[in-house]
Chain A
Amino acid sequence: MTAEKLASESHSSQRREMTGAEMVVQALIDQGVTDIFGYPGGAVLPIYDELFQQDRINHILVRHEQGAGHAAEGYARSTGKVGVMLVTSGPGATNAVTPLQDALMDSIPLVCISGQVPTSLIGSDAFQECDTVGITRPCTKHNWLVKDVNDLARVLHEAFHVAKTGRPGPVLVDVPKDVQFATGIYTPPEVSPRTSYHPRIQGDIEAIKQAVALMLTAKRPVIYSGGGVINSGNEASKLLRELVELTNFPITSTLMGLGAYPASGKNWLGMLGMHGTYEANMTMHDCDVMVNIGARFDDRITGRISGFSPNSKKIHIDIDPSSINKAVRVDVPVIGDVAHVLEDMIRLIRASSTKPDEKAMGAWWSQIDKWRSRKSLSYTRNKDVIMPQYALERLYALTKDRDTYITTEVGQHQMWAAQFYHFEKPNRWMTSGGLGTMGYGLPAALGVQIAHPDSLVIDIAGDASVQMNMQEMSAAVQYEAPIKIFILNNQYMGMVRQWQQLLHGNRLSHSYTEALPDFVKLAEAYGGHGIRCEKPGDLDDAIQEMIDVKKPVLFDCRVANLANCFPMIPSGKAHNEMLLPDEATDDAVANAIDAKGRQLV
């Protein structure tokens, strides 16, 4: 970097007079933002005018504000940085609600900057006015309406601080148009000027000691890790691997936590929960000490609470005190950042004279091996029809040695992806877990590809979900983002249908899509590349073609229409009451859930 450029940069982050719109761009630069996702409109035009006159911030024009949000989420999850979206007032802001809630539930750091009608018009039902801070208050970690240009820089910096610290989450800054035009003093970033917000990072050492003592006397331990490990950063994943190595404990993970521990690791049990493996769920059910690291006992994980791991002592590491004892009562809560707590934990374990009980661990592992031999993910192959599981096995085999990132939509394909695509590293898996947002995967893939232009980015999609944000194909083509949309097309909303079979007497109410688009033609219409594959024998070549094409691809993978996703813990059942694929006859499926379970979701 030249001395001149350095000087101009140091100048740029000093206090100086500028317009509100300039401040927005300057704050983004000072926060290290390089890419943002957005859509212009009347109330953000001054900011767009500033964007036009600079080249430090790369703006990606999406086709719908929801797409901007999910793209920013994908960007954030795959980089560990804060995702940024820029939207206009009114419909721009309301379209941002879904990704904001999605980011809130999955703890994704996101900053949404929204335009607002001029302050003098707020409350007058002006054109494209809505109560943005009111609407987004429950779906953000915090939000601000900035009425004075002299507060704008401070608020923007605070917004980034709140989004990325503690339990990360989405924030929104609403900037009225007159504030964007007004001139004020820009202030550079400072460390949290707020006195009220102090997320706890370091774990209480006494609690950690207690946890370690419990772990070292365990006879049937299990580690249950979650998205918190990934959010904590690469160091946390490294420490998690070290902890597993050190203790030889079996480890399972939630949907959000996949990749923190490598799927090829010998202690890996696979994902747990509603569509988790038999070995993971049985290990959870029968364990005597459970170590929850950065997960939140979500209802998709626990099954029936009263039957959830009934005989275990539970340790829970979480940065958010409200996660402790929310769904499941725990014995040893440790509040803090995963990496910090694991570091202390590993140090204490190394220093301890007590070592894990090898004999008990041997017996525990042989029990686990018996559960593993049940092969709960097995399915019957078919030489005429592509089984969805087979499609994902082949996709994995042909992409695992590449620099690959996977996103998904929501439904059966998502669960199959979690079961059959194996992750070795964190930040490689982007999926909508908490909110379950159909339409997440395609724009998220766009966001990932913008962050990693040379990587292979694949959205494992379903034919129903993918249509919810299909318009972002147009953005992908515009930015030459060669995302690969791998559609497991069974013409059904498969998960909806599966539940109708389980709960509603096989009455398939509106879960069949009568008129699907021709995805190949659709890809071509957007200027991308379309592939259709109908036979298992053609699959490998077709996947290879998808990888080789340097364009956005819609891959219409025609799979067995009626395949269902197993194993499964039906609603209202416990971990040891799983429905396994070979037991899932039509009768068993129809009667799997009793009247009480039917009321649950």
Chain B
Amino acid sequence: MNAQNLASGSAYFIAKETELPVTTVLSVLVDNEPGVLARVIGLFSGRGYNIESLTVSETEHEQHLSRITIVTRGTPHILDQIRHQLERIVPVHRVVDLSVRADELGQSGPIQRELALVKVAGLGEHRNEALRLADAFHAKVSDATTEHFIFEITGKGSKIDQFIAIMKPLGLVEICRTGVAAMNRGPRGM
């Protein structure tokens, strides 16, 4: 298999892709039943699509509905395929490409937020610097001893990336990120 076929996410005689890949955010509303997440991620791995971020939780307890948010990357043609393939999964109710929807609404993109816990350990000037920077990033201190902090930071992925990069030389120990939660602006639901 050659590179062009790999990039197209399918096999055999697929024509060379001339479109450029873009990143998009998909919201998938599913029945919260056993195996549903495996079906969704199995589709991505089985068909060679990318998952850059994945967030899932039950959002409507009475109806047992979960909302899965997937950040993925591909050409518009592939993204269209991903959406249709997701819609084929029996327990999937709805699939909305939030980025496309934002375009339709004339907005720059969906609201995307991530939460991260960032553990930093250190003494002296490093410790003070970490605290000052955390304050500048509106990160909260969730846990602390004289030797460490756990910062809780919420924001766009890029902001969290930046925060983590800054913490690295200041004694970064570990990071946990939730993945992206996203929704379109305005009064309408998905």
Contact = CB atoms under 8 A, between A and B. Distances in A.
B is bound to A: yes
A231 to B, nearest CB: 16
Contact of B1 (A321, A572, A599): A599
B59 interface: no
Contact of A572 (B13, B42, B46): B13
Given A137-B35, A197-B90, A599-B2, A302 B13 contact: yes
B110 to A, nearest CB: 23
B15 A305 contact: yes
B188 interface: no
A134 B37 CA distance: 12
A320 B86 CA distance: 12
A196 B84 contact: no
A425 interface: no
Contacts of B92: 196
A600 B13 contact: yes
Contacts of B46: 138
Given A327-B10, A599-B1, A195 B93 contact: yes
Interface in B62-79: 77
Nearest to B31: A196
Interface string A134-169: 100110011101000000000000000010000000
B61 interface: no
Contact of A326 (B1, B10, B38): B10
Interface in B47-103: 77, 80-81, 84-85, 87-93
Contacts of A162: 90
Contacts of A7: none
Interface in A322-358: 322, 324-327, 329
A145 B13 contact: no
Contact of A321 (B10, B38, B77, B87): B87
Contacts of A326: 10, 81
A15 B91 CA distance: 26
A251 B1 CA distance: 34
Interface in A394-449: none
Contacts of A145: 34-35
Q: How large is the interface on B (under 10, 10 to 19, 20 to 34, 35 or more residues)?
A: 20 to 34
Nearest to A304: B13
B15 A322 contact: no
A383 interface: no
Interface string B18-36: 0000000000001100110
A326 B81 CA distance: 7
A325 B77 contact: yes
Contact of A320 (B38, B88, B93): B88
B58 to A, nearest CB: 15
B16 A306 contact: yes
Contacts of A299: 11-13
Interface string A102-132: 0000000000000000000000000000000
Given A137-B35, A306-B16, A599-B2, A196 B81 contact: no
A64 B10 CA distance: 33
Name the 10 nearest CB pairs between A and B, nearest first.
A322-B84, A142-B90, A299-B12, A305-B15, A196-B93, A321-B84, A306-B15, A305-B13, A197-B90, A299-B13
27 contacts: A133-B35, A134-B38, A137-B38, A138-B42, A142-B90, A142-B91, A143-B35, A194-B90, A194-B91, A196-B31, A196-B92, A196-B93, A197-B91, A302-B13, A304-B13, A305-B13, A305-B14, A305-B15, A306-B15, A320-B88, A321-B84, A321-B88, A326-B10, A326-B81, A327-B10, A327-B14, A600-B12
Interface of A: 133-134, 137-138, 141-143, 145, 162, 194-197, 299, 302-306, 320-322, 324-327, 329, 572, 599-601
Given A142-B90, A196-B93, A327-B10, 15 more contacts: A145-B34, A145-B35, A162-B90, A194-B90, A196-B90, A196-B91, A322-B88, A325-B77, A325-B80, A326-B10, A327-B14, A599-B1, A600-B13, A601-B11, A601-B12
